Amino acid sequence: MTVPLAQLNQIPAARCEWLVPGLLKEKVIQLVKTLPQKIRSKLVPVPEFAAEFVEQVQPSDKTLVMALIAFILQSRGLNARGWEITPDAFRPDALPAHFSFSFKLVDEHERQLGLSRSLAELRGEWGGKAKQEFSELHETPSEYSGMTDWSFGELPELMEVEMDSGSNNANVQTVLGYPGLSDDGESVSLCVFDSAEEARAAHAQGLLRLFMLQFRDQLKYFEKNLPGLTQMAMAFMPLGSLDDLRRQLIDLTFARACLVEPWPGDAQSFKLRCAEAKSRLGLLAQEICRLVGQILADWQVLQKKLPACKNHSAALQDVEKQLGRLLSKRFIAETPFERLQHYPRYLKAISLRLDKLKADPVRDARLLAEYTPLWTNYERRAIVLAKQGVSDPQVEQFRWMLEELRVQLFAQELRTPAPVSSKRLQKMWEGM
């Protein structure tokens, strides 16, 4: 597949897994052969199963593996028998190279910039330049900047952007861009982004700003009257200032009140959402301040507890790193709210671990040795993704499952929302 640089971030990675029609059946056969015998035995003869799948299932934005799982469970009646198949049952990495696209990246003169069978790898190296190239194709018209209210009609899902795809000026190609609001501080502007993911992330901030501009009175009130702010700020002091804390608490309150799915797409639904949010802001501010207040108070207690464990350096170092990851300067803004709600349990688990550490340091060392390889795997991958500027929801989910594993290992009595074990996570990692 030849990909112009400006369109690199637009290629749908999941759709590319379906390859081209002529190779799809053979790819499905090879994928099925990587399944465990228990599942594979339900799909014989494999070539007939593959032909059936190709005939009945149309390529889509769902990954090939997820489409296969759905088809296997449904067509073989395994749903009714309570079977579950997870993506890690397949081993796509074991397939010959020609079952993945070779992506050839070219500039505007069709000169080759890069060649790889990994779209993620190309994006890691060239994604930033692709973004820049795309943004140069489309500048925000002046009437769509400096906006303080929804004054731009219905927000389309896609917008057309013209690009010159070769040295011949007549060779103009229309590419699709993803519109979204951009937060400019005291106003917002309508921009076009080269990927749906980036558009969504920017639009969330822009939309939040637009909501807050409609609630100036409430904003002023919260700036002076957040419950328990002074006490929280004293605990927060080693991390950041009172202004940092206040800003994050207010932003989270408005996000919880206004950014409920589905997000508004026109002026009418925006006004309706403003009306719905108005009555909820006060209650949400109290709920969020209560949660963050508890987290900071528990964190303070733990800080006082740590010096007593200085004789157990490995465990102490591990706990300090864990706390550093959980509570950074922007932990309120950067932690998904559904995860933030579990912080009190995570901190309680650390406290219980420290209590048990004095009584049985050998047990703690054994459990830490069980946990460390899984964390090391995650950390290495996270560093690579961060350097590439790429996010991977699976890796992010794995990071939070590791937090649950800590509860399971060191403070089992607190329970976890779903079953978790080192063996289960190792299997999940191998699948990723």
Residue 3, H or E segment: strand 2-4
Distance CA 410, CA 251 (A): 34
Q: What is the pLDDT of residue 390?
A: 67
Higher-confidence position of 414 and 432: 414
With cut-offs at 50, 70 and 90, classify the pLDDT of residue 388. low
pLDDT at 21 over 70: yes
Task: Please give the mean pLDDT across all residues of the chain.
Answer: 90
Instruction: Please give the structure tokens belonging to residue 69.
Output: 């799982």
**Residue 28, H or E segment:** helix 21-33
- To 10 degrees, what angle do helices 343-359 and 361-388 make? 140
Residue 132 scores a pLDDT above 90: no
Is the pTM value of this prediction over 0.75?
no
pLDDT at 325: 96
Bond into 393 cis (ω within 30): no
Using a CB cutoff of 8 Å and minimum separation of 24, what contacts does 70-77 make? Answer: 72/39, 72/42, 72/43, 76/42, 76/43
The pLDDT assigned to 196 comes to: 80
pLDDT digits (tens, 9 = 90+) for 191-231: 888 888 888 989 999 999 999 999 999 999 999 999 999 99
Q: Where are the alpha helices (DSSP H) in 226-342?
A: 229-236, 242-258, 267-278, 281-305, 313-326, 331-334, 337-340
Residue 120 pLDDT: 83
The Cα–Cα gap between 95 and 286 comes to: 54
Phi/psi for 342 (5° steps) reads: -90, -5
Question: Bridge-partner residues for 175, per DSSP?
Answer: 161
The dihedral over CA atoms of 169, 11, 97, 378, expressed in degrees to the nearest 10, equals 140
For residue 139, the model assigns a pLDDT of 67
The pLDDT tens digits of the residues spanning 71-123 come to: 999 898 887 677 878 777 888 888 999 999 999 999 888 899 999 998 888 98
Q: Which residue, chain included where needed, has tokens 């088809």?
A: 71
The Cβ-side half-sphere exposure at 429, using a 13 Å CA radius, reads 20
Per-residue model confidence as pLDDT tens digits over 135-171: 776 666 667 889 999 998 899 888 777 665 554 555 6
Most confident of 54-68, 133-147, 171-185, 399-413: 399-413
314 versus 381: the higher-pLDDT residue is 314
The CA distance from 43 to 195, in Å, is 38
Does 389 score more than 80 pLDDT? no
In the chain, % of residues over pLDDT 70: 94
Range name among 14-18, 286-290, 384-388, 409-413 with the lowest pLDDT average: 384-388
CA angle 256-257-260, nearest 5°? 75
Angle at 423 (CA atoms; ends 412, 350), nearest 5 degrees: 30
The answer to whether 148 touches 174, Cβ cutoff 8 Å, is: no
Kindly state the tokens that stand for 356. 């048990």
Q: Lowest-confidence range among 288-297, 346-355, 373-382?
A: 373-382
Give the H/E segment covering residue 188: strand 188-193
What pLDDT does residue 164 have?
56
Burial of 34 (0-12, 13-18, 19+ CB in 10 A): middle
> Quick one: average pLDDT of 272-291?
96
| % of the chain at pLDDT higher than 90 | 67
DSSP classification of residue 260: P
